[in-house]
Amino acid sequence: MSISIKHVSFSYGKREVLHDVSAEIDDGMLVSVLGPNGVGKSTLFRCILGLATDYTGTIEVNGKDVRKLSVAERAREIAYIPQTHSSVYDYEVVDVVLMSTGAELGPLRTPGEAELARAEEALRRVGIERLSHRTYTQISGGEQQLVLIARALAQDARTIIMDEPTSALDYGNTARVLMCIQQLARQGYSIVQSTHQPDQAFLYADKTLVLDGGRVFAFGEPKDVVTSQTVSAIYGVDVDMQSLYGDKVRVCVPVQAINQI
């Protein structure tokens, strides 16, 4: 079991953000977390990452209580890919990836040949080794997102948390990033990503966790969870869900938009 979340509740002061959230995420699984803004997706991620620890309940990653792990120990278990990343300095792509290897180095050590080889292998695995010596700030948004995925791989953690990884990408880069993520799950990585796109949650994920009002609205296989009833309920918009290609794809369309055509 990669991530075990049991009866987790979290509050900012008197405002409860998560209430009795439970989910079990297996090794080699891609889980999409779906839900409107403000329902607790980012807070749940902060709890899993050990950045917010004042919650009730338990969260274990690979059988280890997150709250009992040091920063270095957490880095060996979980990698995090933010929604956006802005580099202050003009680092080369390979240097951005190398930064993730620091958890295994002492305070006075710098990455050596072994770490460099791991960074280069990570870039190769996501198909952007050609960018190794390009300046990170001068490549496209989609390429930057792939660099961050490579950085997570070089960190050598088997669990990856991703906060809306395609929110700022064009259609082509969105497809490339999601297919890369899906392939990594097939290779044994456990990946949890948040999204606002029901179509993506259905097409790429192994399971979908739906949050609403800080609670688990639904959790299971996309065919059972990504439905017109669920999407309409959590977003407050009447939608029609159409099935294509023998239900390998579902397309979500607002009913009001259809009626106006």
Q: Which residues contact 117 (CB under 8 A, 6 or more apart)?
A: none
Residue 108 pLDDT level (bands cut at 50, 70, 90): low
Region 225-248 average pLDDT: 95
Helix, strand, coil % over all residues of the chain, rounded to 5: 40, 30, 30
Asked if residue 122 is part of any domain, the answer here is yes
CA 224, chain centre distance (Å): 21
Q: 35-54: per-residue pLDDT in tens?
A: 999 899 999 999 999 999 99
CA distance 233 to 212: 9
Comparing CA positions, the residue from 188, 198, 197 lying closest to residue 229 is 198
151 within domain boundaries: yes
Which residues 6+ apart lie within 8 Å of 38 measured at CB? none
Domain that holds residue 20: 3-221
pLDDT classification of 260: cutoffs 50, 70, 90: confident
Confidence label for 85 from pLDDT (cuts 50, 70 and 90): low
From CA 98, how far away is CA 135, in angstroms rounded?
Answer: 14
Nearest CA to 134 out of 92, 96, 85, 86 is that of 92
Written as one letter, the residue type at 118 is R
Q: Is-contact 171 223, C-beta < 8 A?
A: no
In which band, very low, low, confident or very high, does the pLDDT at 248 lie, cut at 50, 70 and 90?
very high
CA dist 255 and 252 (Å) reads 9
pLDDT score for 87: 65
CATH of the domain at 86: 3.40.50.300
Is the model's pLDDT at 28 over the cut of 90? Answer: yes
Q: Is residue 192 part of a domain?
A: yes
Cα 152 from Cα 150, distance rounded (Å): 5
Closest CA to 29 of 223, 190, 202: 190
Mean pLDDT confidence for 174-187: 91
Strands 207-212 and 30-34: parallel
pLDDT tops 70 at residue 107: no
Q: Is the per-residue pLDDT at 197 higher than 90?
A: yes
85 domain residue, yes or no:
yes
pTM, to two decimals: 0.89
Residue 44 belongs to a domain: yes
Is the pLDDT score of 68 beyond 70?
A: yes
CA 39 – CA 59 distance, rounded (Å): 19
Whether residue 136 is contained in a domain is answered as yes
Residue 232 CB partners (closer than 8 Å, separation 6+)? 238, 239
Choice between 167 and 204, residue whose per-residue pLDDT is larger: 204
- Residue 131 inside a domain? The answer is yes
Look over the chain and give the mean of its residue pLDDT values, rounded to a whole number. 90
Mean pLDDT, range 226-251, rounded to an integer: 94
CA 150 remoteness from chain centre: 14
Count of domains for the chain: 1
Most confidently predicted of 82-91, 132-141, 152-161, 213-222? 213-222
Residue 187 lies in a domain: yes
3-state secondary structure of 47: helix
- Distance between CA 197 and CA 199 in Å, rounded? 5
Record the tokens describing residue 137, joined without a space. 């700030």
- Determine the Cα–Cα distance for residues 41 and 141; give it in Å rounded to an integer: 23
